[in-house]
Structure 1
Amino acid sequence: MRISVLGAGPAGLYLAILLARSGAGHEITVVERNPPDATFGWGVVFSEETLGALRDADYPTYLEITDTFARWDTVDISFAGRLLRCRGHGFSAIARTRLLDILQRRCADLGVELRFGTEVGDPAELDGDLVVGADGVHSVVRRGAEEVFGTSVVLQGCKYVWYGTDLVFDAFRFIFVPTEHGMFQVHAYPFDEHSSTFIVEAPEDTWRRAGLAEMTEEESIAYCERLFAADLAGHRLLSNRSTWLSFPRVRNRTWHHGNVVLLGDAAHTAHFTIGSGTKLAMEDAVALANAVVRHGHTPDAVARALVEYESERQPVVERFQRAAAESAGYFARVGRHGHLPPYQFATNLLTRSGRISHANLTVRDPDFVRGADAAFAGAPQFAPPPMFVPLRLGNVEIGNRVVRTAHTPAELTAAAGGGAGLVLAGPVAVSKEGRTSPEASTMDDEWAAAVAAAHGAGARAGVRLAHAGRRGAVRPARSGVDVPLPADQAWPLVSASALPYGPGTAVPREASAADLDRVRADFAAAAARAASAGFDVLVLDCAHGGLLASFLSPLANHRTDEFGGPLENRLRFPLSVLAAVRGACPVTAVRLSVTDWAPGGVSTDEGVRIAAELAAGGADLVHVEAGQTVAECRPVYRRGFLTTLSDRVRTEAGVPTLVGGYLTTPDQVNTVVAAGRADLCLVDFPEEGS
């Protein structure tokens, strides 16, 4: 088979190596516009997992690459005048030029034809049974058929510049420096005995306020050397056409058409903050080479191989791209974590991807975790894990960070004996008209005995007061979700606007001024009864499409009066209800859908603003939820799916948070709380023996 590869980066060269060593007699040509000794770039990082894949694919290349590695197992975090070290992180790096030299020589040894300094303007110039576009982010092969590939390119994350330095770090170092313009940060790591990579990034508005948009390359270097002088310790920054960039996230609906296929950055990119660009590209090469070898002697071999390659790699890459997008967003917002104490800031940073947890850190570096736990608990040396540290909200002390739920007084009594610091009852309807179903609980005298039992078990008790609004008058959940009651059993519904919740559900009436007065009074009366029952925490339900939530969302609120339209109007009624119930219990909280997960609805940015307004209106805590404002929302459920939202609300709105989202282990609670993503965790620990 004749194979033409455009692009002599790691992906294209490694593919050529693997196909040449397969013994199938392929004629392989690699075409590259740059000379073989082009020195663009600095160091390339590999994890232990990636090295295992390279070892299995071509052992001679693996040996030569690893023979020149810089290795470390420590991550340093330079923040707020402290340098915190966390060990147990196995990574290796190599100079990009050294990696390319190894791959080029291996290609030559295997008989691959390498054509350097050859410009290709049109993919049609490439001849072969298989044509591979491994020519990077600005791929000529991809640009020649973007409609066919279904290409999208979106800029994400901060402005960044890729420097080197003659300082050889002994670990991967994150550096965070606040300035009058905003936070700047560095990702630095060694890659040989003489040099380290030194990537500087900052949000674009910070970058512009600092004047970097107008600076020359030399002026930018001088600015960064001054800014990071403490960590550079007198060493220089080195430039290699180092200009400020915005990272392009490349996606393609399909990676092949006909006999043409995309590889590495031509097919996809993942933000550099997760350090996976070269890894993904070389793993693409392994998958494509394996597919070609498997189908090399079958009819339609190329077509079958390309389908197999894409089917294998696309799901893997999509997961990395999601993680990379979250990481890019994290570093764009990291300045808002500047108020966190150093250990909590470091824990938040180390656990940001979800792949490292509190327990995992304990295995990697128990000394770091002991220090972090002691700092969290305010202890001089040793402390319990974060989930067991009490929390004070107002004048209420909650014995630990675990929250359990109960729907009935009997469940509240039972749950209180399970070791939770807080048991949250509800939803409890504020009136019969505010129930979801005929079986829904209201605030009656049975709750007082259950609260007393909870207090006797050492737990605090909270209650969620709700009005179902347009989600009312439905059958119990065991009969299905939002299944309307028969007409002769239903009751009239009220909502922000006369819009049904979903297909087949009843149409509510738009709440009149009298309706709003009555509902506000119902909430106040229910809050007073909750206080009489002895509840410590009252939670006002503004989530999942209930009456108060329907006022907040533009998808459910089409009013033209003072309660509709811009956000300040949509907040007016929920804030008035919050004012009416404040003071009934020692702690007043709000359960909030921070995002509608639906086009045209409340975005996360707007949800954070809503949380801040509710906190300013007297909410002591925000219980973070998402979606279900409309039936056609587009959820993104996964384990811990709400913790990023909680992190943003807690950090940006400046209010304590309660978060759930499939949290089922003590380790997950410890991770969320230790990292400052929430103050309380709603958990569903499996029963013993289950």
Structure 2
Amino acid sequence: MKIVCVGGGPGGLYFAISAKRRDAGHDITVIERDPPGATYGWGVVYWDNLLDMLFRNDADSARRLRAASRLWEQQQIRLRGQTAWLSGYGFSMGRGTMLDILTQRALDLDIDVQHRRSVEDLSDFADADLIVAADGAGSRVRQQYADDFGTQVDLGRNRYIWLGTDKVFDSFVFAFEDTPEGWMWFHAYPSSAGISTCIVECSPQTWEAHGFDHRDAEDGLQLLEKIFAGHLEGHSFISAARGEPARWLRFMQVRNTTWYHDNVALIGDAAHTTHFTIGSGTRLAMIDAVGLAQSLYNHEDLPTALQEYDRVHRTELRPTQAAARTSMAWFENVDRYTDQNATGLAYAMAARQGQHPPWVYQHHIATQIPVLRRAQHAIDSARRRYLAVRRGEVPFIGAERSAALSR
């Protein structure tokens, strides 16, 4: 089968890898408009469930991705000089590093990866059996057939800006600051050596009151550094990615009533978006990639394969989309919860999607006590090591630095 994948992000590259692994006879080309290594944003975050899938699907690239990742343990919620804790752990890595690893893996499998090439018209690919649109939330491919896909695009209310910082956070940190103009907050996590990802968010009223609608990039960055100075501890925000300063955005919520039309299939953000506060965008794009590759393997007939991909994976995504919409709504109304202490805010955040039995609150209160938090950390670490052994992961014990737990 001759396949053209438009978009060389994690979803597009991983689809090409997954399809080629299942059938080396596929002739696959990945087309990316940007140069090698160029990327929007700073880091990606993921959990064990993605690692389990990656190791099952392609252990070679999975080991490289895991080796390039950072472990973060626990979440900190900071409010009015107080810190509360949520248990758990996750992994993060630089988005550019992820793209480099996946690009090299694709090349190793004889996939044609073409950079610096824009796709304006699909007529250039009239000889392709399948065209995969992996070109993001603003997908030009999807826009050409928006009515056929049943595309609906809605914008979130809050403003956010995706920054880097040379302050290295060991934990996943949510920091809330009450300014005279209203609440502002960020969530941050380590993404690569010496760099953390930091997404700053606020209501549109606060954004306008601070004058971000007319401040230039440097002036706006200095104001943010002043607001969050206590958390940056003398470090700076980094705005430029791809040589351009970061811009304030509104979250683009993309939905489609079908993920395929004729021989064109959507994956990743081109098919759906999920709010960044649940950290699932890259994971879901890679799940789409594997799902589409497996459907092509299961069915020789392309229409049948695309029908299966659309039916199964759109259905599976619905709970995640609902959770993402609920999370976005919670943060768009965060000032309803900031009149309590950090422990109360942390629980409200953890329970924002509901379905928590009453004992979860008691567990949350207990793990604010350092000795009990260390016990929970030991349980989480044992579970992490068990899962790593089960999926055949090379242990990284000793290479990872645990978050400080003596607070």
Q: For this structure pair, what is the TM-score category when the shorter chain's length is used for normalisation?
A: 0.7 to 0.9
Give the Cα–Cα distance (whole angstroms) in 1 for the partners of residues 361 and 55 of structure 2.
27
Q: Is the contact between residue 83 and residue 343 of structure 2 (CA under 8 Å) also seen in structure 1?
A: no
Offset of residue 358 of structure 1: 5.4
Partner of 1:287: 291
Distance (whole Å) between structure 1 residues aligned to residue 225 and residue 248 of structure 2: 15
Matches within 5 A, 1:87-486: 87=87, 89-127=88-126, 128-239=128-239, 240=241, 241-296=245-300, 301-354=301-354, 359-360=359-360, 366-368=366-368
How far apart are 1:191 and its partner, in Å? 1.4
CA distance in 1, matches of 2:202, 2:254: 21
Aligned counterparts of 1:45 and 1:356: Cα–Cα separation in 2: 24
Shift of 1:158: 1.2
TM-score (norm 1): 0.52
Give the aligned residue type for 1:102. I
How far 1:20 moved relative to its partner? 1.0
Instruction: Tell me what 1:389 maps to.
Output: none
CA distance in 2 between partners of 1:177 and 1:349 (Å): 16
Mind listing any 5+ residue stretches in structure 1 that lack a counterpart?
373-690
- Please state whether the residue corresponding to 1:212 is helix, strand or coil: coil
CA distance in 2, matches of 1:172, 1:370: 18
Q: Deviations over 1:6-38 (max 9, x none)?
A: 000000000000111113400000111111121
CA 1:40–1:146: 2 relative to 1, 3 Å: same
Q: Tell me, in whole angstroms, the C-alpha distance in 2 between the residues paired with 1:307 and 1:152.
A: 20
- In the alignment, residue 174 of structure 1 is paired with which amino acid? F
- Deviation, 1:342, is 2.4
Question: Residues 101 and 147 (structure 1 numbering): CA distance in 2 closer, same or farther, change over 3 Å?
Answer: same
- How has the CA–CA distance of structure 1 residues 361 and 8 changed in structure 2, closer, same or farther, with 3 Å as cutoff? farther
Q: Check conservation: 1:361, 1:369, Cα contact below 8 A.
A: no
**What is residue 654 of structure 1 aligned with on the other side?**
none
> Quick check: 1:26 aligned with 2:30?
no
What amino acid is aligned across from residue 26 of structure 1 in structure 2?
Answer: H
Q: Greater RCO between the two (CA within 8 Å, min separation 6)?
A: 2
2:266 counterpart letter in structure 1: L
Aligned residues: 367
Q: What per-residue deviation string (whole Å, max 9, x for no partner) do you get for residues 31-57 of structure 1? A: 111111214210100111111111111
Distance in 2 of aligned mates of 1:332 and 1:2: 45
What is the Cα deviation at residue 226 of structure 1?
Answer: 0.2
Q: In the TM superposition, what whole-angstrom CA distance separates every residue of 1:568-617 from its partner, at most 9, and x where no partner exists?
A: xxxxxxxxxxxxxxxxxxxxxxxxxxxxxxxxxxxxxxxxxxxxxxxxxx
Q: Partner amino acid for 1:257?
A: H
Query: Conserved in 1, the CA contact under 8 Å of 2:30 and 2:114?
Result: yes
Structure 1 residues 101 and 356, CA gap change in structure 2 (3 angstroms): farther
Alignment check: 8 A CA contact 1:48 1:90 kept = no
Structure 1 residue 236: Cα displacement: 0.6
For structure 2, the residue ranges without an aligned partner over 5 or more in a row are 373-407
Deviations 1:99-154 (A, max 9, x none): 00000000000000011111111122224101100011111110111011111100
Q: 1:336: Cα distance to partner?
A: 2.1
Distance 1:356 1:242 in 2: 37
C-alpha root-mean-square deviation of aligned residues, in Å? 1.9
Inter-CA distance 282–355: structure 2 relative to 1 (3 Å threshold) = farther
Question: What corresponds to 1:554 in structure 2?
Answer: none
Cα distance in 2 for residues equivalent to 1:83 and 1:343: 8
User: For 1:253 and 1:231, how far apart are their aligned partners in 2?
Assistant: 43
The answer on whether the counterparts of 1:292 and 1:302 sit within 8 Å (CA) in structure 2 is yes
For the residue of structure 1 that corresponds to 2:156, the secondary structure is strand
Distance 2:177 2:163 in 1: 17
1:170 to 1:358, Cα distance in 2 relative to 1, 3 A: farther
Residue 688 of structure 1 corresponds to: none
* Structure 1 residues 488-503: aligned runs within 5 Å: none
